[in-house]
Amino acid sequence: MPDDRPFDLAVSIVRRLQSAGFIAYFVGGCVRDRLINITPREYDIATNASPSEVEALFPGSETLGKSFAVTRAPAGGVFFEIATFRMDHNYTDGRRPEKVSFTDAETDAQRRDFTINALFYDPIHDKLIDFVGGQNDLKARIVRCVGDPARRFAEDHLRMLRAVRLAGTLDFKLDPQTAEAIRNNASKLSEISAERIHGELTRILTESQRPGDSIVLMDDLHLLGVILPEIITMKGQEQPPEFHPEGDVFSHTMNMLNMMQNPSAQLAYAVLFHDIGKPSTAVAAADRIRFNGHAQEGALLAGEIMRRLRFSLKDIETVTYCVGNHMRFMDVQKMKRSTLRKLVGAPTFPLELELHRLDCSASNKDLSNWNFLKEFQEQLAKEPALPERWITGRDIKKMGIPESPKIGILLATAYDMQLEGTVKNREDLIEWLRKRIKEES
């Protein structure tokens, strides 16, 4: 098992609680992860101590809503969540109980979502406490609800997406009864806030071992159509086999998702949405199926979806830019040097380049343009792709040009010449501009 500072600090909290006469255990994902040799993201602790008793033991702690009995306690500069064993009552909003009552560990385990998340571990006595069969499900690599799955999903509808995330992250299978309950309750996901869906979907795409398979599982469970109906339209959309021997747009996109390695959220969504405009632009031309303007259409659709799911403006701008411009990589070997430098110097270029690599790898395997761009990057290794401009608007005004659109045109032309290497230095460029202004006057 991993042994790190957060673990040691969490053990110190359990030890202090137990020394004060209380029952205290690690609980949830940290127990699950340590049992399968994964370093936990965080350590949660469960106890029979009340919030006020926890606060008395840990100066500087604070309880996050007395009714839910969760206290954040400091240890070594790190805060840990300590929850009092509880029973939840009367879920009415598909998210949280109206009230809770304090109880014992076994009853507390019965309210939790999945068996593999309902394990307790006593680090002081090295003892695993399992009231729900979670250890057997861990060994069998199964995600199973605690008790009646329909009831668990009625309590918190987001648990349906969480089941997909757990299965994808751990490479586990869903228990058949759990899967069937999700299918029967999938429509209730529409009652969940966009922010919560966005957060869980992002974790599915960035943490799953094979994110494409997780999206396919969402489709099988009838969840995909509830939150991303636009993705469903890609199923069955044929593509020219000479460019896409892998099959339809949906299959192509899922292959790309599966090929990602430790992706950022922006890359994952750029991949998911990059061909979303194909179904609505498909035309059976004389030679083959064509998707004229699909990149631009895709950018519009991606923007609509991301606004619906409450993405940040920065993420929307970045992802839609990559989606809307991903087809320009087809022409990089024909581009002028100045255009290439602008492409490579853009802040989105690393993301765009990886999107292009995945796009090719998941279709015709032709990486010639990717290799060309990598070589061009190496040529520019000792200088910025977009150096500081030699010429400014003030320079052009001094040449007698009044404030007008012509200044912008001359600036753009001058910078292209600088990037192309047509002129050697600022002085040569100024001389060229003077001659052009004189010729046009």
CATH of the domain at 92: 3.30.460.10
Rounded distance, CA 23 to CA 130, Å? 15
**Pair type for strands 62-63 and 44-47:** unpaired
Residue 386 lies in a domain: no
At 246, list the tokens.
Answer: 């892998």
Are residues 349 and 255 part of one domain? yes
Q: Look up residue 107 and give its DSSP letter.
A: H
Per-residue pLDDT, 180: 98
Residue 388 lies in a domain: no
Instruction: Look at residue 402 in the predicted model and tell me its pLDDT.
Output: 82
Q: Is residue 385 part of a domain?
A: no
| Statement to judge: residues 185 and 240 lie in one domain | no
pLDDT reported for residue 153: 95
Same domain (yes/no): 29, 52: yes
Is 435 found in the same domain as 374?
A: no
Residue at token pair 């009231």: 131
Tell which of 183, 202, 223 closes a domain: 223
Report how far residue 225's alpha carbon sits from residue 382's, in angstroms, rounded to the nearest whole number: 49
Query: What's the CATH code of the domain at 311?
Result: 1.10.3210.10
Q: 283 Cβ partners below 8 Å, 6+ apart?
A: 289, 290, 291, 292
Spatial separation of the C-alpha atoms in residues 43 and 28, rounded to whole Å: 8
Using alpha carbons, list the distances in angstroms from residue 293 to 282, 289, 327.
Answer: 10, 13, 10
Q: Are residues 206 and 134 in the same domain?
A: no
User: What is the structure's pLDDT at 1?
Assistant: 45
Domain limit, last residue, from 110, 140, 170: 140
**Per-residue pLDDT, 90:** 64
How do beta strands 120-122 and 97-102 pair? unpaired
Q: How many CB atoms lie within 10 A of CB 37?
A: 8
* 316 and 353 together in one domain: yes
> Where are the extended beta strands (E) located within 265-380?
283-284, 289-290
Give all strands of the β-sheet with 70-75 in edge-to-edge order: 62-63, 70-75, 78-84, 44-47, 24-27, 120-122, 127-129
Based on the fold, state whether residues 272 and 404 are members of the same structural domain.
no
18 part of a folded domain: yes
Identify the CATH number of the domain in which residue 210 sits. Answer: 1.10.110.30
Pair 66, 100: CB distance under 8 Å: no
Q: Is there a single domain that holds both residue 15 and residue 108?
A: yes
Are both 241 and 335 inside the same structural domain?
A: yes
| Residues 86, 180 within the same domain | no
**366 assigned to some structural domain:** yes
- So what's the pLDDT on residue 137? 98
pLDDT of residue 68: 64
Residues 240 and 305 in one domain: yes
pLDDT at residue 20, as a whole number: 97
Enter the tokens of residue 267: 């890359």
Domain C-terminal end among 200, 223, 246: 223
Structure tokens at 273: 């949405």
- The answer to whether 45 touches 10, Cβ cutoff 8 Å, is yes
> Does residue 153 belong to any structural domain of this protein?
yes
Number of domains in the chain: 4
Q: Is residue 304 part of a domain?
A: yes
pLDDT of res. 2 = 47
What phi, psi does 261 have (nearest 5°)? -130, 115
- Specify which residues 145 forms β-bridges with: 114
Structural domain that includes position 205: 141-223
Q: Running along the chain, 441 residues long, what does each successive block of 10 average in pLDDT?
A: 78 97 96 95 94 93 75 91 83 59 90 96 97 97 97 95 98 98 96 96 98 98 97 93 89 97 97 97 88 95 97 97 96 92 92 97 94 91 81 84 84 84 84 82 69
Strand partners, 86: 102
Residues near 408 by beta carbon (within 8 Å), at least 6 away in sequence: none
**Whole-number pLDDT of residue 354:** 98
* Same-domain check for residues 155 and 48: no
3-state secondary structure of 371: helix
pLDDT in the model for residue 82: 95
In a domain, 268, yes or no: yes
